[in-house]
């Protein structure tokens, strides 16, 4: 039996241990989250985490720790077709090179007559 076809992608993520506060009860708690992308410092992690996880009930107040991760993700091709949305094709480098800009047209020169 043939192996099922897979769609794969290597994805970089950042796992962060956040210090958060419940605004209603003033309770401070820790929450481990996974963010898409890699970050070089805690300030950038905090900005991204706040954007994704701040709500009417809780706010990110600090990043206790974070680690960068990279993993190969895969999905059965048929499942991918069912769940993915179709996007316009990318332009290849060759197609971009074939497109030539229109030549600039100079305005017709008007002759000046001396009086």
Q: pLDDT tens digits, residue range 49-85?
A: 999 999 999 999 999 999 999 999 999 999 999 999 9
Specify the pLDDT at position 44: 96
Q: Quick one: pLDDT band at residue 108, thresholds 50, 70, 90?
A: low
Domain ranges for the chain: 6-86
The CA distance from 2 to 67, in Å, is 38
Lay out the sheet containing 58-76: strands in order across.
28-36, 6-22, 58-76
**How do residues 12-22 score in pLDDT, each as one tens digit?**
999 999 999 99
């Amino acid at each position: 039996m043939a192996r099922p076809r897979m769609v794969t992608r290597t994805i970089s993520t950042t796992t962060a241990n956040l210090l958060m506060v419940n605004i209603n009860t003033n309770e401070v708690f820790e929450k481990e989250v996974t963010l898409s992308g890699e970050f070089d410092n805690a300030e950038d992690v905090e900005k991204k985490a706040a954007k994704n996880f701040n709500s009417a009930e809780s706010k990110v107040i600090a990043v206790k720790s974070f680690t960068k991760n990279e993993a190969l993700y895969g999905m059965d091709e048929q499942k991918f077709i069912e769940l993915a949305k179709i996007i316009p094709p990318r332009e290849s480098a060759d197609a971009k090179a074939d497109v030539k800009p229109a030549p600039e047209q100079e305005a017709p020169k008007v002759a000046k007559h001396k009086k």
